[in-house]
């Protein structure tokens, strides 16, 4: 690479949808120093709904490698990497084994991988394939300390070193806003009804079924005043099953599945609480966005979530899989509006101090160039 040549970085993802992983990739390519870096993104299926935002900052490529033997010899991916000729390939969860193999076959000089979250306990196949991929990778990154420990202890063979780069959030975009009456009306929310909200991929590991069970308990024991509403923003493989659960519990008008929305920064303003019921997390981008927006969080004590909340908000953690405890935590928070608001202020301060987006991007810039 000459002194005046930009470092070409190729991100490899399964697709560019609207999940936390994809939003993080979008943030990196948007904020990388354009005088020093040239960004490319390659997907292994269709581009996805987030590609419209990413294509303004990165050149997009697509390789549909779905044949069974592509894990043994990903010919199309190797050809694409040779044609792009990147200095760095940055793989992300879901494509590590195949993309790392292709990158080495294509002669890519530097390979970086970020793991955004794993099943707990790890599945045997993932432990083996990711352990092999780690041996091919120059820098392995986990998005939380808990995730780093899990990977170090479980991958086969065990990786020598895993770094931690926590996710960051744009605190200017995700900031406290006044509640918007028009937005509540658009969402079909009663003017005074408390709103418990969650934003993320509708996947089994997120345990939305536990969240719905907790919501049934909360509604059944609610006292005077408008009953709470549950707002679930996102889609994924669990969508149809969760819709069926909502219908069976008679919650059609009380629990809403909105699908993915691009205006999530506006939605946090209508939340009285942000919640996660996950069995496992890396560092949840939705949680960071909600806290940056000044929303009080109530989340399960898994993965990187306790570290995100910190000591001042530790009382807002609940055990995973305990619908009764989750409902009780919601009830306490909704019955104490002053304390809930002060915790929202503390949440904003926590993100500003420890989870700035530009700090995250600067760390990746140093990893790309080999400075760290």
Q: CA-based Rg of the chain, rounded to a whole angstrom?
A: 21
Instruction: Bin 225: left if φ > 0, else alpha if -120 < ψ < 50, else beta.
Output: left
> Interior CA angle at 285 toward 282 and 287, to 5°?
95
Whole-angstrom distance, CA of residue 126 vs CA of residue 1: 35
Task: Write down the pTM of the prediction.
Answer: 0.85
Express each pLDDT in 340-353 by its tens digit: 999 999 999 999 99
Q: What is the DSSP string of 45-60?
A: S---TTHHHHTTTSEE
pLDDT of residue 325: 98
Express each pLDDT in 94-107 by its tens digit: 999 999 999 999 99
Q: What is the DSSP string of 119-170?
A: -SSPPHHHHHHHHHHHHH-SEEEESSHHHHHHHHHHSSSPPS--EE----B-
Q: C-alpha dihedral over 192, 294, 28, 11, to 10 degrees?
A: -50
Instruction: Mark the ranges of the chain whose per-residue pLDDT is less than 70.
Output: 1-4, 18, 65-68
Express each pLDDT in 110-155 by its tens digit: 999 999 988 878 889 999 999 999 999 999 999 999 999 999 999 9
Tokens 């509540």 belong to residue: 184
The encoded tokens of residue 326 equal: 């989750």
The encoded tokens of residue 349 equal: 């301060």
The separation between CA 240 and the C-alpha centre of its own chain, rounded to angstroms, equals 21
Whole-angstrom distance, CA of residue 203 vs CA of residue 245: 14
Tokens 């970020």 belong to residue: 114
Pure H helices in the chain: 20-31, 51-54, 75-84, 96-105, 124-136, 145-154, 181-186, 208-220, 239-248, 264-267, 285-292, 305-309, 323-335, 337-354, 357-369
Instruction: Bin 294: left if φ > 0, else alpha if -120 < ψ < 50, else beta.
Output: left
pLDDT of residue 3: 46
Whole-angstrom distance, CA of residue 329 vs CA of residue 296: 12
pLDDT of residue 1: 54
Of 270, 348, 356, which Cα lies nearest the Cα of 309?
Answer: 348
Express each pLDDT in 251-275 by its tens digit: 988 999 999 888 889 999 999 999 9
Cβ neighbours for 172, distance < 8 A, ≥ 6 positions apart: none
Whole-angstrom distance, CA of residue 200 vs CA of residue 141: 22
pLDDT of residue 195: 97
Whole-angstrom distance, CA of residue 46 vs CA of residue 16: 8
């Amino acid at each position: 690479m000459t002194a005046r040549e930009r470092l070409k970085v190729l991100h490899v993802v399964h697709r560019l949808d609207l999940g936390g992983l994809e939003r993080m990739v979008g943030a990196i390519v948007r904020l990388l120093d354009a005088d020093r870096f040239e960004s490319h993104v390659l997907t292994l299926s269709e581009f996805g709904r987030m590609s419209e935002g990413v294509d303004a900052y990165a050149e997009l490529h697509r390789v549909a490698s779905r044949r069974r033997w592509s894990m043994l010899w990903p010919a199309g991916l190797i050809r694409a990497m040779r044609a792009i000729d990147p200095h760095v390939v940055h793989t992300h969860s879901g494509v590590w084994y195949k993309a790392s193999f292709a990158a080495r076959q294509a002669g890519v000089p530097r390979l970086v991988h970020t793991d955004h979250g794993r099943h707990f306990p790890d599945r045997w196949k993932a432990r083996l394939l990711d352990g092999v991929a780690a041996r091919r990778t120059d820098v392995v990154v986990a998005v939380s300390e808990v995730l780093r420990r899990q990977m170090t202890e479980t991958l086969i063979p065990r990786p020598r070193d895993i770094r931690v780069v926590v996710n960051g959030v744009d605190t200017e975009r995700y900031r406290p806003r006044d509640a918007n009456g028009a937005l509540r009306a658009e969402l079909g929310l009663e003017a005074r009804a408390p709103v418990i909200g969650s934003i993320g991929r509708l996947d089994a590991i997120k345990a939305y079924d536990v969240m719905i069970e907790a919501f049934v308990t909360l509604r059944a024991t609610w006292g005077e005043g408008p009953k709470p509403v549950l707002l679930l923003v996102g889609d994924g493989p669990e969508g149809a099953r969760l819709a069926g659960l909502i219908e069976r519990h008679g919650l059609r008008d009380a629990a809403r599945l909105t699908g993915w929305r691009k205006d999530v920064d506006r939605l946090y303003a209508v939340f009285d609480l942000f919640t996660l019921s996950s069995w496992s997390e890396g560092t949840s981008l939705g949680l960071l966005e909600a806290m940056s927006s000044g929303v009080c969080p109530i989340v399960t004590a898994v993965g990187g979530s306790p570290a995100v909340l910190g000591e001042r908000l530790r009382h807002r953690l609940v055990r995973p899989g305990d619908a009764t405890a989750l409902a009780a935590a919601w009830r306490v928070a909704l019955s104490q509006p002053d304390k809930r608001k002060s915790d929202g202020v503390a949440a904003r301060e926590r993100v500003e101090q420890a989870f700035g987006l530009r700090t995250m991007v600067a760390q990746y810039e140093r990893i790309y160039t080999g400075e760290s």
